[in-house]
Amino acid sequence: MKSSSKKEIIYETATALFAQHGFHAIGIDRIISESNVAKMTLYKYFPSKEHLIESILIRRDEQLRTSIIQSMDEAITPLEKIKSIFQWYEKWFEQPNFYGCMFIKASEEFSQETPKIRQISQDHKQWLTDVVEELLIKIGVKHPASLANFIMVTLDGLTVNANIFAYAGGMKLDSSWSFVENLILQSKQH
């Protein structure tokens, strides 16, 4: 087995375990066991559990940014692009391996003593907030920063709710989107 594929197996295994069970509940020994790699192999690529978590969060951020941008690229207008973000979330909630947001989990599980893990999580959330704010500016709403923050709180709340209730067949976001859409339209500067 090539060493790069061993690294990939470690990534995939640790990501799945952390997503499902959280970061503190999963130890290095379980990752090693389920990855079927030697302890030295894991430490060759990831010198500590904290480094592994940081690497996973950075990769997850890159993957989500790419996926969300692809979803928005299918939309034309700024309002449709914001709606496509809600649709992206809805599809994510429907995935059989949906266990909530790794960035929310990381920020809940790690204190200020682990600033890099918290910073990666904050950067991801800030990136999406900035994307939404830029779209709101193009729409011409009053107070785009405040509305972008409200939309992010809504999306994060929907994420937590979908994880808590583990909706069979996913969670439909039509009513949430309708509310947000009305808010955006009412916030347009005349």
Number of domains forming the structure of the chain: 2
Both 42 and 71 in one domain: the answer is no
Both 135 and 112 in one domain: the answer is yes
Residue 3 has pLDDT above 80, yes or no: no
**Residue 43 maps to which CATH number?**
1.10.10.60
Query: Residue 25 sits in which domain range?
Result: 1-47
Give pLDDT, residue 38.
92
Q: What is the pLDDT of residues 17-28, one digit of tens each?
A: 999 999 999 999
- Percentage of the chain beyond pLDDT 90 is 82
Radius of gyration of the chain (CA): 19
Cα 81 to Cα 26, 57, 77, 118, 190, distances in angstroms: 37, 25, 6, 28, 21
* CA gap 154, 137 in Å, rounded: 19
Residue 177 lies in a domain: yes
What is the sign of the dihedral through the CA atoms of 108, 14, 93 and 139? positive
Both 177 and 154 in one domain: the answer is yes
Residue 74 lies in a domain: yes
Both 18 and 70 in one domain: the answer is no
What are the CB-based long-range contacts (under 8 Å, 24+) for 160-164? 160/100, 160/101, 160/104, 162/93, 162/98, 162/100, 163/98, 163/99, 163/100, 163/101
Please state the rounded mean pLDDT for residues 57-68. Answer: 97
Both 37 and 126 in one domain: the answer is no
Q: What is the pLDDT of residues 109-139, one digit of tens each?
A: 988 778 899 999 999 999 999 999 999 999 9
Both 17 and 107 in one domain: the answer is no
Give Cβ neighbours of residue 173 (< 8 Å, ≥ 6 apart).
86, 87, 89, 90, 93, 158
Give pLDDT, residue 129.
98
Residue 31 has pLDDT above 60, yes or no: yes
Q: Range with the lowest mean pLDDT among 63-67, 96-100, 179-183?
A: 96-100
**Residue 109 maps to which CATH number?**
1.10.357.10
Residue 129 lies in a domain: yes
Residue 52 lies in a domain: no
Give pLDDT, residue 190.
64
Residue 87 lies in a domain: yes
